Structure formats: structure tokens, C-alpha cells
Structure 1
Amino acid sequence: MLQALGGPVPPNTDHAVSVSLPTWQANIGYEEGQDWVISKMQCGYPRFFVHPSIQRLAEEVIRRHGDVEVDSATLFPTKKTAQVCYSFMTSKIPHEDVAKVRILNFVPARGADPTSLVSSLSCVLYPKQYASVAKQVWQHSGNGISSRRSEFLLTALQDGYLVEEHSPNAPEKPRRLHKGPRRYQTKDSFDATSTKEPGSPPPTNGVREGREYAQFIEERFGRNLNLSLADRAKLAVRRRIAGSLTADVDLSEALEKSPSDGRVAGLSEDDVFLYPSGMSSIFNVHQILLHTLGEKKSICFGFPYIDTLKILEKWGPGCLFYGHGSSEDLDDIEKRLRGGERVLALFTEFPGNPLLKSADLRRIRALADEFKFAVVVDETVGNFINVNVLPYADVVVSSLTKIFSGDSNVMGGSAVLNPHGPFYRDLKDTFEAEYEDLVWAEDAVFLERNSRDFISRIEKINTTTEAVTDLLKASPIVKEVYYPKYSPTKPLYDSFKNPRGGYGGLFSVTFHSTAEAVAFFDTLEVMKGPSLGTNFTLSCPYTLIAHYGELEWARSFDVDPDLVRISVGLEDTADLSGRFQRALAAAKDAATQA
């Protein structure tokens, strides 16, 4: 079952969000930039690896508007998202090179049919030596364009339907940006641009007639995607996330059913905001909190997915990091607050990744109410079918790339406002004013299709994961199994578990030696690569891949450098258990040979 190094995971998937790193040594080679690995990389996790279609679009922009020997480009869907990159870069590079960083904006040419799919494009061009600075924005913010959008934009640019904003063929009137949840109710627009004012006649004096643009759209998409579904797909996704749909249903039924109370009374799809990735939801929620509640430090509570911590550290006044997420940490936070310190928000995961520990949300909520800070909970690992954390949060964020989609072929994220939270009205007003819909229409359609059966998938995965972790827990070769069912914080998890909920599909395992961990990982007959929540079982040496340059730092928070993380899929339980037994046998052999 060993998949070829560097290939997409799952195989034969043009827009896969994972990549095959099938051996322990391949993961080390990837982290160290060794050519035998890097030269074979066909794709990668989209916030860490720029998809080939995005690379081609960037190269085309540079060829037309830059210097191919000097410039690099990072691509964003809107001016606002590009401005974030520009501001970050110009604050980090030498003053004398600031003028070499610029933004190019592209818009649909005159003649683009406003009832068809249209998209803007904003490109940050900069000297190649500062690519690592731009990469931080691409990775941490999650706001970059998707690979599907880039395919469309490249064709549109080459065929003359996408033009530089100030060119003669650009529209005469500026396009209005559709913001806030009203955007989802629009029947005539598929992106954040419109080529005419309401009631005005269709333009006919551009480089392409509206009729020709419609033909372009039909040829590009007509045979494999019904674009009229895009806004409806987003609405259905938002209803599912709100929790008002409690069974697997298709698109028509999702839209026909009358919305009902979901996770909390009064919650509706209007309180759900979609983003192009899970990190984008966290980044933008943090920005909105800063805008709404003022410039204050935040708290990162518990060992986090690394980019959350980086966002809080690099944008805004900074961050207090409590990597253990313990009651003693909460004691220290309370002491600081009672001593007069004030914070913007506390960010935490429920449960955490990769140690699957659960935070004391009730105590956190009590402190937040007393000292007037917001609580943001990342529920990606727990997911709202298993746990309901919204009543104790102001905002719940999630990566829809994971189990909500499952197919590992589309990125997405969400933010849900608690309608009973103390900052709800102010936050909702800011979202209405500042929110941009950055989710590409094609991606939304795939996300909706993938998520139709996510409830039954989660139930199956819960059951299988319990069986597999029971097997590992009973093995003397295993040092530790990290899973909510076995965690010291299980009572905290259980207090938020839904009546039909389970303990999820993610767990981590450690061994008594590196040799045992390597043998187990290399022998385990499952897909190997980054990401989680896939419909197929997926494994990675998590600490190596996420913290290779800071292994001792991770160890200081009890994250073993040799930890193996596993995300369970939909395979037959007996078959999957057999694969784990064979991997355990290999680990045992390695122990006896040591």
C-alpha cells in the first residue's frame, strides 16, 4: 500500500490537500529540504505548498508585469487580503526595498456577464529574496487563492477576460464589494465583483461581448459544474454548520427544510461565516476582534496547531502562551487578570492537537465574563456532532477541510457567532461591515457535496477509532495513547459531549524508542501525509512535520518528538485493526533488535 513519494493524497486528485510522505525518513527529508524528496513533490498541503496551477498563474503575471529574473508574486482574491500581505512585508524588509513591493489588481474586462462567474485577482509582487516573508502571510493567514480559482483566472487572463485594473479594457465603474451574510442571498453574483450597476444595460464595448464571456464560462465549466448552485451550496453548508440539519440530506432538502435551532437556541445560518481555510477563519476572527474590542494581547491556551500561535504573535499586540493548558495555567491567568492585566481574547482548541487534551471551558467562560474578554474555540478536532462548545464561546472556528469535507480535495473554514455571547451585537456589526466572502464558487460546490453525509461518516469513524485505540492501549509496546477517551481531561470532554457524540477520529501514539516509532509508522498500511479528518486513514510523524526546528520546545510541553498522529477513516474496523496489529508487530521486532 506504500504510495509513491510526493504524489497527491488521495491519489489521482488534482486538488488534493495532502501529499504522500510514506516513510519516516521522507518526512525528515522534506523538513530538511533534501532534493530526493523535494524534487518529487507534485503537491502539498495548500498553505505550505503553492499548487502548480497557482505557480503557473504567478509566473504569467510576472511575465506580463514584472521581471522573471527578479520578481516573485503571491496571489490573493481581493485587494484587502493582498494589502495584509503588503503591510506585513513592508514592515519586515529593509526600508530601501519597500518601494520594490507593489500590488497589481486584475478585474474582469468590460463585457463580462455579471450573472456569470467573475473573480478579481490581487497580486503582491516583490524581490525574490523576500519570498520567505510573503510565505508567512500565505501560510498563517490562509487567505491565498485556491487552486481551482487559479485555474479559472489563468485561462481568463490568457484569453483577455481578466485585465489589469487600470488598463483601457478595465470597466469604467468600480465594482462594489458584496459583504456580510447578505452576500449569500444574492442570486446574480458568484464572487465579490459586479460589472454593472443595478438596472443598467449590459456592457457591449469591451474586448469581449457579454455573449462571448458567457460562452467562455460555459466552455470552462458547463459540462462539469452547475454554477447556479454556488450560492445555494454556501447556504446549505452554513445551515449544516449551524447544526439546524441533524441528518444526512442532499442540497435540495437542505434548502427546503425550515431552519430550526441548532447548537444553541436562536442560532441561524446568518451567524455562520465561511472562509477559504480554517486558518483564514482564525486569522480573520482575530482581526475582527481587534477591530471591535481594541488592541490588546490575546491568550493562546493549550498546545495549539502552530499557525494559531503565529497569528497571535505576528499580528496585533502579541500573545501570552500557556502551552500546557492546565488548571495551574488558569490559576496564573486569573492572577494576572486580578492584578490588572487585560486581554483581548483567549484562543483554545477542543480537544487539542496532537495531545487531545480538553480545556476547562466553564472556568474560562467565567473568567471571560468577569474580565470582559472574548473566547474563541477551535472545534476542528472535536467537531460539533461530537461536542457542543458554542454556549461557552463567543466564536467557534473550524477547518472544514477536515472531517466536514472528508474527501481531502477542497479547503474551507468557518466561524460561528454565539448569539448569546456578551459581544455578539458588536461582533455581528463588525462582521457585517468587514467580512469578505473569499470562498471560490467551485470550492463551495465541492464542499457542499462532500459534506452531505458527514454525520454518518463521523458516527462510523467514532466507532472504529475507539476499537483501534483500545487495541493500541492494550499493547505493551505502546508507551502512550493520546485520545479523549483516555485523557486525564476526559471528564471535561464528556461534559461537552453530545448525547450521540463520540470521541472523534484523531489520536496520537508514542513508543518507548525512536526505532519502535519508525518501524510502526513505516509498516502501517495507510496513507501517509499531513492533514486529518479524511475519509481514509491518514498518518504522520506529527512533531517532526509540525515542529522539526523546535523539537525540544515541543518536548517542554509534553509533545514527544517521536509522536505518531493518526486520523481514522471509513475502512472496515476489522481490516484496519489488522493493519495496526501488523505495525505493532514490526515495532516489537524493532525493540527486540535494539
Structure 2
Amino acid sequence: MLAAVGQPVPNVPHACSVSLPTWKANVGYEEGDDWVVSKMKTGYPRFFIHLTIRELEKEILSQYGNSGEKVMLFPSKRTAQMCQAFFHDKRPGISKTVRLLHLEPTSSQSQNTKYVLSKLSCVFFPAADFPTAKQVWQHSGAGISSRRAEFCLKALKEGYLFPVNGPAVASSAHHDVFSKGPRRYQRGTSQNNIPYGVNGHSHSQSNGDYTSGSDDQDHDQFIEERFGRNLNAKNAAKVKLAVRRRIAGSLTENSDLDDALAASESCSQKERQNEIVEGDRLRDVSEDDVYLYPTGMNAIFSAHQLVMDEAQKRGKPPLKSICFGFPYIDTLKVLEKWGPGAEFYGNGTDEDLDDLERRLENGERFTALFTEFPSNPLLRSPNMARIRQLADKYDFVVVVDETVGNYININVLPHADIVVSSLTKIFTGECNVMGGSLVFNNSQRLFQKLKDVLQQQYEDNYWAEDAVFMERNSRDFVSRIERINVNAETMAATLKKSPFVKEVYYPSMVPSKKYYDACKTSNGGYGGLLSVTFHNPQHSPIFFDNLAIQKGPSLGTNFSLSCPFVILAHYTELDWVQQFGVDPYLVRISVGLEDPAELTKICEKALDAIAQP
């Protein structure tokens, strides 16, 4: 049964999608109509601030806020300072009224605590300037998760989170972080002061979010048992290690955590290499080259900050980055709103590469090129081999978002310096937890320089409980991909046969198929995402309303999920998107694990509705 307007999809407390079951409901959501907005119990987490987070904001405002203020919550001082710096850049007239407050658990400091706790950093600002703060929340993906908010809310109400260094104040020190001016390059730690090298790892991804210690273990245990959910620090380290190994390809067991980790330890590097055939993920990828983030967008945002900082450290002037191909909306916004800006090649074609090469030959230079493989929602694949050649010749970094393709189906790492992915999507499948990853190609010439800079600035802000869910959900990742590939190809073929359909966008059905195939793994398919347009635009709402699958934002879910993507993502710029071949009436479908015959019937029934008088 399809969920009603505004209900969580799936029906769980931390769902990452929300039901907008009709075309009219999607338009109503964008228009802010009360009949939709008043029913919203949740939403996509970077666009809709979860009700638990709102409750925590309300509690913090009641204890520490001033009249006329709102607050936005972040997992660390650094991320809060980034938000504050954005206010200084975009709203300098009110910057003096933006203040920070840092809350910490009431636990004395030592190095022996074994329980996961959480700090909380609060940015207070004039209520009228909420849209500015919301840009940071949405585009950077750096805000706290709903599970962390649940944990902190209980701790705050019971008196176990207290301000550090007195009341919140406006600070000028934030300019050292995420500013346009010179940056400091200092050896960093996680937001909870966990040093590098813990548990033998080379960066601060080791033990998750717990305080640096406690002389009173009973007190820490009390907080954990009262407010936590099995958040033992050792277990938090294990689940994050397992996720990183799964992404690196060295952990493939669909089994319990300890068994899977043991199997990955016992499998030698040589044995793992022998299992990987030519054309698949690079053989020498290590979990030490995989970094976890709270969201996929935070991985992209961090990659953007990283390439700018690394270029600056080499003495290069501030230069624009390239956004190649029509991207997911927030990627372009990050490149435009932080740093020197972006050069947008919205079609991502060979002709665009020709133009870029001419400009490079004439002396123009760029910091990095960001692209998706394939793109969302047009499923186009750029010529990665040519992009790599240009990057090597003209000294820019290549960052590839592989979320839609995923590393089981494609291997873009040989052509990239950095590969990012939203683990919120098909990696987890359950649509109940956020996450992101950044992977270095350790064979590229800038690898060590990029990694050195990242290790100076990296914070492990991935909340331990979110990591627990991510690890559990991703155990059957490989087998789910295989089934979804088959289902999506079946649905794409069904749509392609309809006389009402104008275009089916699927990696195997678009002109850029040859570039996708060049990166396709030996056992890979074409993924679970497709888009469809109709000769008559008015047929799109009919088809959508009669498509008997869940309707809402997100993709890569184990259940099929659809949305009028352009309406949701670009409602205020529909004329602009059309110049890049993006139809405002496009329907995007993320195909799930259902029986392929049933999916075919569902699709055919929606098409039949178009033919009804």
C-alpha cells in the first residue's frame, strides 16, 4: 500500500524519504501548500530538518537562546565554524549577531573511556536569516543526524550536556576555517579529540564519537545505558572499519560483524588480488584510503574543500572548478557558493570536452573537475579516459561521484583522483540511514599530497549508531545490486516499447553507452536508476499517479521509488534546466528488489492509464 502524503518512506523513525504520492502533491510541496506541508512527518534529511532535531533545537533555544534567534546544530566546532564563516561571507551585515555555543558531556577527561558520547555545536542567528543557515545544512550535508539528535536530546534534558567556556559568543577565529583567505595547516583530530593512529589506522576514523575519557567509568556507563543504543566505542570502531573494508573491496562476507572482519583479516592481500579481475576496482585499494562522512553531500563538500586547500598549499592561485555534466543540484551549489566558483558544462558531451581542451590550450586553468558517473537524472556517462588525460596534462584534480553507478557495476577509480559516493542510496538500501564515502586513488600523482592535507583537516563526524545501521544494511550489497540491475533493465525495456514514451534515460540506452561500457566491471550491469519522458507532457502526471510504487525523494532503495525529479529539484529554475536537455516533466524511477514480472505489470498498468479516455 502506498503511504499517504507526508508519511515516512519507509515507515520507520529515521526514514530518508517521504511520501508525495501524486504529481499534485509534489507541486504542492514546492509551492508550500498547507495541505501538503502540514502533513509532513519527515522528509529527505538535508532538505527537511527531522522533527527530533527540531525538538532538540527548541530545547537548546529554551535554555541558551535569545529572543528572535534560531539555532542550527552541528557535530563539531569546525563544522559550526564553517556555518558561521558562511554567514560572514554571504550576510556580513548580521555576522556579529551569529554566535556559537559548544556543549560537551559532563565527563572528566582520560584516555580510557569505552562508551560513545557526543558533543554538540550550536550556531545561533537571527530567525529571519534561517534561509542562509539552511543553505549550509542542505548543501554541505554537515548537520547532525536524527539519531545523534535523539541521543543528545535525552542527554540534554537530563542534564548531561553542558556549555564549554561560558556563554555562546560571536567569534572571529572562524576565519581560519573554510574562509577565502589563508588557511592553517595543523595536524587534526576528530571532534572528540581522538588522536591519529588509534587501533593501528593511519587517520582519525578509528573510534567514532566518544569523549576523550573519564575518570568515572560508572558515570560514562550510566550515560551510555540511559541514552545510548549499544554504542560501545570498540564496536563503533569495528563497524566503521567493516564499512570501509566493504567499500575497498576486501570485505565481501554477508555475515555478522566479527565473522566478516575475521574473514577479511585472514584473506591475504595476494589472495584478494587474485579474486579481482582486470577492469574492476583497483587491486591495491586499502581501507586506509577510504574515509567516511555523515552524508554523501558532505563527502562531496569535503572533497571540494580538500582540492582547494591542497592547491593553495602548493602555491596555486584560487581557481574555479569545473562541473561537468548535468549534476545533482547540490554539487553545483557547493562549487558555486564556496571558493572561487564553478565553470558549468551542463551537457557533459564530447563537444564540451573539445571546448574545455581549447580553453586549457589557451592558458586557462582550473582546480578540479567534478562529474557524476552516470549523471542524475539523465544517466549520461562522460568520457573518463579523456578527462584523465586532460587532468594529467593541465594539472587539475578529478572527483567522480559514483553513487548512481556504484562500484559493483563500474570502476571509475583508475580515471579519478577521488571517488565519492552517497552510501545513503543503494549501499544501504533500507532508506533508514545517511552516510557518505571518499576514496583516494593511491596510484595518482597527487595522492600523497591530497591525503596529507585531508589528514590535517579530517574529522570523524559519522555518528556511531548511524554506522551500525549502515554496516548491517550493506552486508548483502553485492547480491542486491545484481537483482536490481536485472529489474531495472526489464522496466527500461518495457517503457521503451510504449508509443507514449518519448525517451528512456538508462545507461545502456543513451548515446554515451560506450563510455559507461568502458568503465563497466566484468560482472557489472547498468544500475537501478532510470528516467522517462513522454511525447505529451500531460501524460507524465497520469503515468506517475498510476505507477503503483512508493513515491518520494531519494534513490537506491530496496523497494522501487519514483518522483518527478525535476519538479522536486529544480522547481524555481525549470526554464534554465531545459537548455541542458532536462525535461521538466521527467519521471525518475529507482527500481527495487520486487519480482520483475510484478514490476512489469505495474509499469504496463501505468502506461495503460494514459490510453484511457
Quick check: TM above 0.5? yes
The answer as to 2:411 corresponding to 1:395 is no
Distance 2:253 2:261 in 1: 13
User: 2:305 matched to which residue of 1?
Assistant: 287
| Per-residue deviation, residues 505-530 of structure 1 (Å, max 9, x unmatched) | 00000112232111100000000000
Give distance in 2, aligned partners of 1:138 and 1:180.
28
The 8 Å contact of residues 179 and 433 in structure 1, kept in 2 or not, is answered as: no
Is the counterpart of residue 440 in structure 1 residue 456 in structure 2? no
Following superposition, the deviation at residue 66 of structure 1 comes to: 1.1
Deviations 1:510-558 (A, max 9, x none): 1122321111000000000000000000000000000000011111100
Aligned residues: 570
Matched-pair contact (CA < 8 Å) for 2:205–2:291: no
Residue type at the aligned position of 2:356: I
Structure 1 residues 417, 181: CA separation in 2 closer, same or farther (over 3 Å shift)?
farther
Pairing 1:306–2:313 present? no
- 1:231 deviation in Å? 1.0
Contact 1:505 1:569 in 2 (8 A): yes
Deviations 1:402-432 (A, max 9, x none): 0000000000000000000111010111121
- Give the letter aligned to residue 191 of structure 1: D
Shift of the 255–467 alpha-carbon distance from structure 1 to 2, 3 Å rule, reads same
Secondary structure of the residue that 2:519 maps to in structure 1? Answer: coil
SS in 2 for 1:195: coil
Cα distance in 2 between the residues matched to 1:179 and 1:384: 31
Post-superposition CA distance 1:329-385 (Å, at most 9, x none):
101111111111110000000000000000000000000000010000000000000
Distance in 2 (CA, whole Å) between partners of 1:190 and 1:439 is 7
Match of 2:193 in 1: 177
Task: Identify which of 254, 260, 279 aligns with 2:260.
Answer: 254
Q: CA 1:34–1:183 in 2, change beyond 3 Å: closer, same or farther?
A: farther
Report matched runs for 1:60-99 at 5 Å: 60-67=59-66, 69-95=67-93, 97-99=94-96
Query: What residue is the counterpart of 1:139 in the other structure?
Result: 138
2:122 aligns with: 123
Match of 2:181 in 1: none
Aligned to 1:234: 240
Three-state SS of the structure 2 residue aligned to 1:561 is coil
| In structure 1, distance between residues paired with 2:91 and 2:166 | 30
Please name the residue that 1:485 is paired with: 508
Helix, strand or coil: the match of 1:586? helix
How far has the Cα of 1:272 moved from its partner? Answer: 0.1
Q: Distance in 2 between matches of 1:182 and 1:430?
A: 19
Amino acid paired to 1:463? V
Secondary structure of the residue that 1:416 maps to in structure 2?
Answer: strand
**Out of 464, 469, 491, which is 1:468 matched to?**
491
Equivalent-residue separation in structure 2 for 1:214 and 1:251 (angstroms): 23
CA distance in 2, matches of 1:167, 1:103: 11
Q: What does 1:481-560 align with in structure 2 at a 5 Å threshold?
A: 481-560=504-583
2:191 and 2:459 in contact (8 A); partners too: no
Alpha-carbon distance, 1:292 to partner: 0.6
Is the Cα contact below 8 Å between 1:233 and 1:445 reproduced in 2? yes
2-side partners of 1:460 and 1:122: how far apart? 42
Q: Deviations over 1:42-87 (max 9, x none)?
A: 00000000001110111111111112x4010010000000011000
Deviation, structure 1 residue 311 = 0.3
In the alignment, what sits opposite 2:445?
Answer: 422
- Paired residue for 1:276? 294
Q: Which amino acid aligns with 1:147?
A: S
Paired position in structure 1 for 2:251: 245
Distance (whole Å) between structure 2 residues aligned to residue 430 and residue 180 of structure 1? 14
542 and 53 in structure 1: CA distance in 2 versus 1, 3 angstrom threshold: same
Could you list the per-position Cα deviations for residues 416-472 of structure 1 after superposition, in whole angstroms to 9, with x for gaps in the alignment?
Answer: 000001110101111211110010000000000000001000000001111111111
Distance in 2 (CA, whole Å) between partners of 1:179 and 1:77 is 17
Matches within 5 A, 1:160-239: 160-166=159-165, 177-178=193-194, 182=198, 185=201, 189-191=207-209, 193-195=211-213, 202-203=215-216, 210-221=217-228, 228-239=234-245
- Structure 1 residue 111 displacement after superposition: 4.4
TM-score with structure 2 length normalisation? Answer: 0.90
* Alignment partners' CA distance in 2, 1:167 and 1:309: 38
In 1: Cα distance, 2:371 partner to 2:576 partner:
19
Letter in 1 for 2:469: F
How far, CA to CA, are the matches of 2:322 and 2:213 in structure 1?
43
Q: List gaps (5 residues or longer) in structure 2.
A: 168-189, 313-317
Shift of the alpha carbon at 1:90? 2.0
Please, which moves more after superposition, 185-194 or 527-536?
185-194
Choose 445-454 or 426-435, whichever is displaced more: 426-435
* C-alpha spacing 1:99/1:26, structure 2 compared with 1 (3 Å): same
**Residues of 1 paired with 2:163 and 2:10: CA distance?**
37
The aligned amino acid for 2:146 is S
Unaligned runs of 5+ in 1: 169-173, 197-201, 204-209
Secondary structure (helix, strand or coil) at the match of 1:495 reads helix
Contact 1:75 1:82 (8 Å CA) reproduced:
yes
Q: Is the 8 A contact 2:191 2:460 kept in 1?
A: no
Spell out, residue by residue over 1:486-509, the C-alpha distance to the aligned partner (whole angstroms, 9 max, x if none). Answer: 010111101111111000000000
Secondary structure in 2 aligned to 1:106? strand
What is the CA distance between 1:182 and its match in structure 2?
A: 4.7
Residue aligning to 1:109: 106
Q: CA RMSD in A?
A: 1.9
Q: Any idea what SS the aligned residue of 2:593 has? A: coil
Query: In terms of mean alpha carbon deviation, does 178-187 or 519-528 score higher?
Result: 178-187
Equivalent pair of 2:74/2:122 in contact (CA under 8 Å): yes
Look up the match of 1:206: none
Match of 2:473 in 1: 450
Instruction: Please state whether the residue corresponding to 1:452 is helix, strand or coil.
Output: helix
Q: Aligned match of 2:435 in 412, 425, 447?
A: 412
> 8 Å contact 1:179–1:434 — kept in the other structure?
no
The 1:554/1:192 distance shift into structure 2, 3 A limit, reads: farther
Write the distance in 2 (CA, Å) between the matches of 1:587 and 1:289. 49
Question: Structure 2 residue aligned with 1:296, among 319, 329, 343?
Answer: 319
- Structure 1 residue 220, shift from structure 2 partner: 2.8
**Distance change in 2, residues 1:102/1:504 (3 Å):** same
Contact 1:115–1:188 (CA under 8 A) maintained in structure 2: no
Tell me which residue corresponds to 1:47.
46
Q: What amino acid is aligned across from residue 160 of structure 1 in structure 2?
A: G
- For 2:208 and 2:61, how far apart are their aligned partners in 1? 27
Task: Give the aligned residue type for 1:78.
Answer: S
Question: Matched residues in 2 for 1:247 and 1:568: separation?
Answer: 25
Distance 1:343 1:423, change over 3 A: same
Checking the alignment, whether the CA contact within 8 Å between 1:9 and 1:16 is kept in structure 2 is yes
Percent same amino acid at aligned positions? Answer: 55
